[in-house]
Structure 1
Amino acid sequence: MDAAVTMGTTFDSAEDLAGRAVCVTGLGVSGPPVVWALLACGARVTVVDGRTDEATLRLARGLREEGAEVELGDDGPQALPEGAELVVTSPGWRPEAPLLAAAARAGIEVIGDVELAWRLKPAGQIWLAVTGTNGKTTTVRMLEAILRADGRRARAVGNVGTPVIEAVLPDADGAADDVLAVELSSFQLHWSSSLRPHAAVVLNVAPDHLDWHGGLEPYAMAKGRVYAPGTVRVVNSADAWSRRLAAEHGDPAARLVGFSLDTPRPDELGVVEDLLVDRAFVADPRSSADELASLADVVPAAPHNVANALAAAALARSVGVAPESVRAGLAAFAPEPHRISHVADIGGVAYVDDSKATNPHAAAASLAAYEPVVWVAGGLLKGADVEDLVAAAAPRLRGAVLLGADRARLRTALAAHAPGVAVVDVERTDEGAMAEAVAAAAGLARPGDTVLLAPAAASMDMFADYNARGDAFAAAVRELRA
């Protein structure tokens, strides 16, 4: 699957794009900014997209007015535009898509938006990269807050929501960001070939997007591309894949820095009692350490969130950020919605929304932060195995409320690994399903318990996305209080 990204590069700067015929595939989040950037460089741009909905048609009209050619509909994504010299693809397009396969056969370079941005970035701009199955957005947002507390002109970009290409182009005053905290998906890394971040971390690897990559091994290998030649390798010492990828993909000559929730050894960041401590970026890692923050500065102080904070701190320290800036940044950081968000305390029971826990690995981290728990779970498991998740969580479960398309698989696992745990099955799938689930969870909970929405599954069987699912949970909790 890597054949399309191992060819020699066809351009290295904006000047090289002038007059070049470039095909852009897809008008998703990254598509329009890529088109605008290419047009600004003087490229001749043709955009293809299979959609013909009204929003896409409006977008196409605007791009045509700015000078791009746009081909929509069933024929658009199938054929490589005549004369194309470069293809910039949407991250989600699979390598075997007819247009991309045709480009590879013709020897035409195929890259993604991240690779394009890397080649167009200002000479002095520093990239700090974050990938992994879970925790990416939280980590880059923490990193952004830490960098800004240190006085850096910094921004969180990439898969976090702001396309990277927007952050490499000068603003209205002609200035660009000094440092980027870049969240990278496995898709974006697959379509990157010359990316060389200053420092990078693979937070963790668990089964996800296996249909796209063809299995766990190629999925993990795509993540490992972030450890490029010369890149400082920041490693989650508790994650076997993170360690392996840094060893196999990383530059042996590049610095290796670990982080964990344990007392740090030299060249590691870790936790000592209630303090986050650095024994890597200090004068003598063998005999000295810097206090960076306290657990009270990390909200919420769930174990996996503390790990995220340590990863962000390690990346920031790799560019010389002061210890006090780490503390200030973490204290100022506000978690994104639906990520271990405390909704309310009602009758001595805490209600927590972690709708972003869309796979078993994320749900396991969330469940490990609370005890005892009434677990609200279910949705689209996308083929993921839940046996290990349920077996590990069983001792801390007070009860479980299941909803969604694949709830039967969770019910079977609970019967096998937690036979004494009360389980409520919510059969309805309409807009009242979450209210019924929350009411059932409230009925199972006792004072001191946590009712935790950590679905371990995607939301699209019942909700527009995980945000809508989390909103429904929070609304139902507020109804309990009313």
Structure 2
Amino acid sequence: MPLTDVLALDDSRRLTGASLLLDAPGAVMEVHLPEARAEDALAAWERHLRALLDALGWADATLASRRYPEGASLAFTAPLDALYAATEVNEAAWAMTVAELGEEPLPELQAEVERLRGLIEEEHNPTLLELADAAAARGVTFLWDDDDVSVGQGTGVKTWPVDDIYPPDAIAWADVHDVPVALVTGTNGKSTTARLLGAILRADGRTPGVTSTDRIIVGHDILDTGDYSGPGGARTVLRDPRVETAVLEVARGGLLRRGLGTPTATAVAVTNVADDHLGDYGIETVEGLARVKFVVTKALGEGGVLVANAEDPYVQHQAHRLRPILEAQGATICWTALDPDDERVALHHERGGAVCAVVDGHLAYGHRSEWTRVIAVNDIPITLGGAARYNIRNALIALGLARALGVSDAAIAKGLAAFRSDPDTNPGRGNVFEVGEARVWMDFAHNEHGLSALSEAVLALPSRRRLVLLGHAGDRTDAEISGLARSAAKFEADKFILAEYPEHLRGRELGDIPRLLRKTLRAEGVPDDAIEVAPGPLEGTKQALDWAEPGDLLLLLVLSKRDEATALVREAAAGARHA
């Protein structure tokens, strides 16, 4: 096999914000790197890259690399106005590396430098850099992309087209300021937590801008639907002049592809970390995924707060690992747990730190060894009277964030009491319908961790028979898909419907995922005649509704075409009412 295939370049991209490898913008590439070649290849890459950077006048760049099984991420910092060119620099260094290890003639250094200088000059935008420096000098956020440039955030933002930037001395800087910003990440619960916080902020009289994996909202206005959990969604909210406080859901994919969407935040939260989406960009373990999630802490500065779930071992470990860095940044930790006697929470509270827990049946905020009871758990609708413990945890995270954003306890209580987990307010998260005398629970739970948390609440509901509709996208590992089936088996359902997702096979063949789900369910003791297959989630929803009888409970785990599936359930509910 040619060495160019053995040491193949898999991906090369810009990093527009702080990332897993870098604290500033730059370029990164993913390369195939067999273990036997790794040490020599990394040394050669660094040597060739340094030679190019020195010749280009970028000698102060920071280099970083991360090895993973059969590959590596190779990155370096670069000027804001030359990130496309920076990817070319990285690729040139790798081409030299492959040539050297293959004992082939290397590209002529000076010719490469001249080519790269031409690319840098084409991209060079001195006005952009001047504005970035001016914003930094005034302590306000600077955001840019291919189309627009902005200074400030929300009600204090000013935005221009990238080819028509105002010079710093023409800007009314007195009108430019940032707004409070909260970042919410984690494997499960981040969308619900972000929406809870949005409801709290509205109850406080603020206009929040909230991004999530399925919509972007300012105040009560839905600006658009779709996945806005990446940097693009963050910029959209932060550039909206109506926004008084921003709540940004931050997904793993955006962090790995581009880095953070904002350089600063008032508070950040990590809900939990579990086995999901492993394998992308060399993130092969849950521990590695936890490190990605905690990139959000790089946005914290003086007075910033990390709200962390003390019950999650991966969150515990990362928060402990980063504590010295957080302290150097001037940031603190607010731990959350259901039990106020949780060892980490209790010790932190005794030492005067901020904590959130359930005290005497109330969500409570603890600080300086005192407890303030904010709202009874039973007064928060999404907790289902305490049965939905995962939503109590989400509410505790929202409480910690709201306190960090300066929201009053009265507004926190009002917002939590008003929040409903219906398809309009919190789509795909614990949406419950009555269809005749049967109950339908629709949810987006899509991994073993999320479904296990959901089971506590669903199994607490009375039912004559149970049905579970489930499926998965093809980009998950066999282990992840089997884990979902194992969790589903714990519902001891009378019927399982396995839905295909033809639009999301992502390299697998039609039928692969239902076969794997069936195999796991059978291994867990589910009889074969209790399992059906549906060609898609809508067909599966129809099969479930046709099966339902009075007293039944249907758990529909719908991962795509959710709006259409919800419409089918609503139609069935309306028909049952008029029957």
How would you bin the TM-score normalised by the shorter chain? 0.5 to 0.7
The equivalent of 2:296 in structure 1 is: 226
Q: Is the 8 A contact 1:114 1:165 kept in 2?
A: no
Counterpart in the other structure of 1:125: 179
The reply on whether 1:269 has 2:356 as its aligned counterpart is: yes
Structure 1: distance between partners of 2:150 and 2:336: 27
Moved more, 135-144 or 239-248: 239-248
Alignment of 1:397-408 (within 5 A): 397-405=492-500, 406-408=513-515
Separation in structure 2 between the aligned mates of residue 241 and residue 7 of structure 1, nearest angstrom = 22
Q: Residue 265 of structure 2: SS of its match in structure 1?
A: coil
CA separation of 1:339/1:382 partners in 2, compared to 1, >3 Å: closer, same or farther? same
The answer for the alignment partner of 1:307 in structure 2 is 393
**Is the contact made by 2:13 and 2:87 (CA closer than 8 Å) also made in structure 1?**
no
TM-score for both structures, normalised by structure 1: 0.67
Find the counterpart in structure 1 of residue 451 from structure 2.
363
8 Å Cα contact 2:366-2:372 kept in structure 1: yes
Deviation, 1:420, is 6.3
Q: Which has the larger radius of gyration?
A: 2
| Corresponding residue for residue 201 of structure 1 | 269
Alpha-carbon distance, 1:126 to partner: 1.4
Alpha-carbon deviations, 1:117-154, whole Å to 9, x = none? 89653433111110112222211111011122223342
Partner residue, 2:34: none
- 1:167 and 1:198 map into 2 onto residues whose CA distance is 15
CA 1:438–1:100 in structure 2 vs 1: closer, same or farther (change >3 Å)?
farther
Give the secondary structure class of the aligned counterpart of 1:210.
coil
Measured against aligned partners, the alpha-carbon deviations of 1:256-309 in whole angstroms (never above 9, x if no partner) come to 1111222363232122343211114xxx3x243333343322325322122111
Task: Tell me which residue corresponds to 2:198.
Answer: 144
Residues 331 and 454 (structure 1), Cα distance of their counterparts in 2 relative to 1, 3 Å cut: same
The correspondence for 1:210, drawn from 261, 265, 278, is 278
Q: 1:293 to 1:424 in 2, by over 3 A?
A: same
Letter in 2 for 1:182: L
- Equivalent position SS for 2:215: coil
Indicate if the aligned counterparts of 2:310 and 2:337 stay in contact, CA closer than 8 A: yes
- Mapped partners of 2:391, 2:481: distance in 1: 22
Is 1:321 the counterpart of 2:407? The answer is yes
Hey, what's the Cα distance between the residues in 1 that align with 2:22 and 2:249? 25
Q: How does 1:336-351 map to 2 (within 5 A)?
A: 336-347=426-437, 349-351=438-440
Q: Which runs of 5+ in 2 are unaligned?
A: 1-11, 27-78, 92-115, 124-140, 157-176, 217-232, 501-512
Contact 2:277 2:476 in 1 (8 A): no
Does the 8 Å contact 2:435/2:572 carry over to 1? no
Give the alignment partner of residue 466 of structure 1, picking from 554, 562, 578.
562
Using the TM superposition, give the Cα deviation of residue 386 of structure 1 relative to its aligned residue in structure 2, in angstroms. 4.3
Look up the SS of the partner of 1:226 in the other structure.
Answer: helix
Distance 1:232 1:158, change over 3 A: same
From the superposition, tell whether residues 350 and 244 of structure 1 become closer, same or farther in structure 2 (CA, over 3 Å). Answer: same
* Number of equivalenced pairs: 377
Cα deviation code 1:148-205 (max 9, x no counterpart): 222334221365533222333363xxxx533211111123333236723111111122
Out of 223, 232, 240, which is 2:313 matched to?
240
Which SS does the other structure have where 1:403 is aligned?
A: strand
Name the CA distance, whole Å, in 2 between partners of 1:432 and 1:261: 39
Instruction: Compute the TM-score of the two structures, normalised by the length of structure 2.
Output: 0.57
Q: What is the letter of the counterpart of residue 182 of structure 2? A: L
Equivalent-residue separation in structure 1 for 2:450 and 2:245 (angstroms): 28
Which is richer in helix? Answer: 2
Is the 2:143–2:235 Cα contact (8 Å) retained in structure 1? Answer: no
The gaps in structure 1 that reach 5 residues or longer are 12-82, 89-98, 460-464
Q: CA deviation at 1:400?
A: 3.1
Distance 1:402 1:274, change over 3 A: same
Match of 1:255 among 323, 328, 332: 332
**1:29-428 correspondence to structure 2 within 5 Å:** 85-87=81-83, 101-102=87-88, 104-105=90-91, 116=144, 120-121=152-153, 122=156, 123-157=177-211, 159=213, 161-162=215-216, 163-169=233-239, 171=241, 176-190=242-256, 191-192=258-259, 195-217=263-285, 218-228=288-298, 229-230=300-301, 231-249=304-322, 251-253=325-327, 254-263=331-340, 265=346, 266=349, 267-280=354-367, 284=368, 286-301=369-384, 302-335=388-421, 336-347=426-437, 349-354=438-443, 356-371=444-459, 373-380=466-473, 382-384=475-477, 385-392=480-487, 394-405=489-500, 406-419=513-526, 423-428=530-535
For residues 6-38 of structure 1, the C-alpha deviation after alignment (integer angstroms, 9 at most, x for no partner) is 678689xxxxxxxxxxxxxxxxxxxxxxxxxxx
Q: Give the 3 Å change call, closer, same or farther, for CA 375–103 of structure 1 in structure 2.
A: farther
Change (3 A) 1:205 1:337: same
- The root-mean-square deviation of aligned C-alpha atoms, in Å, is 3.7
Checking the alignment, whether the CA contact within 8 Å between 1:366 and 1:454 is kept in structure 2 is: no
CA contact (8 A) 2:308 2:316 kept: yes
What is the identity percentage for the equivalent residue pairs of Structure 1 and Structure 2?
24
Q: Distance in 1 between the 2:407 and 2:543 partners?
A: 48
